[in-house]
Amino acid sequence: MHKTLAAGAAAGALGGVIFAGLMRLAPVGAEHRSMILFAAELVGASRSPLIGWLVYPVYGVALGALFGRLLGGSALDKVRAAMLGGLYGVGWWIAAELVLIPALLAVWPLSISAVDRVRDVALPLLVGHVVYGVILGIAWSRLMEIRRPRRWVDRPDTHTRRAA
């Protein structure tokens, strides 16, 4: 169980760093100057780009650990893990857009005013969450492969001798 959490957190950190890089490049509407400053404003550090850069990896670690916990010890190939990660990213985009960000902006979640407040950041965050999820899934799958014990069938049998 701890291995899946650790793999999820590590994969989430990688995805979160890439998410932050994408958000730095993302265009935003007139209200927000950049997605990095928007993230900093959400956590109360209005003029600190450093805090904005740190928000995405911390968010990524938390979501990645949950991803690892939800998948448990299931063995997934990279393609399935990437697909599940992408869907996971879309799910968190919906949750972030409709509940998390409006709540942090002191707007009633799931309301028309909440949708209006996050409208200009919706598309960049959708792209970022999907890319984050795909990277999370692939990295989690690779990290789980590293420590997965080999099955007894794959091990060479050292106790038998060849017949001559």
Domain ranges of the chain: 2-145
pLDDT 10s per residue in the chain (164 long)?
688 899 999 999 999 999 999 988 877 766 557 888 888 888 886 778 888 899 999 999 999 999 999 998 777 889 999 999 999 999 999 999 889 988 888 888 888 888 888 888 888 899 999 999 999 999 999 998 875 555 554 555 555 555 55
How high is the pLDDT of residue 39?
A: 85
| Cβ atoms of 99 and 109 closer than 8 Å | yes
How high is the pLDDT of residue 32?
A: 57
How high is the pLDDT of residue 155?
A: 53
What b/e string do you get for 97-116 counting C-beta neighbours within 10 Å, with b at 16 or more?
bbeebbeeeebeeeeeebee
How high is the pLDDT of residue 101?
A: 87
How high is the pLDDT of residue 54?
A: 92
With vertex at residue 67, the alpha carbon angle to CA 144 and CA 147, rounded to the nearest 5 degrees, is 10
How high is the pLDDT of residue 137?
A: 95
pTM: predicted TM-score of the whole model, two decimal places: 0.81
How high is the pLDDT of residue 84?
A: 95
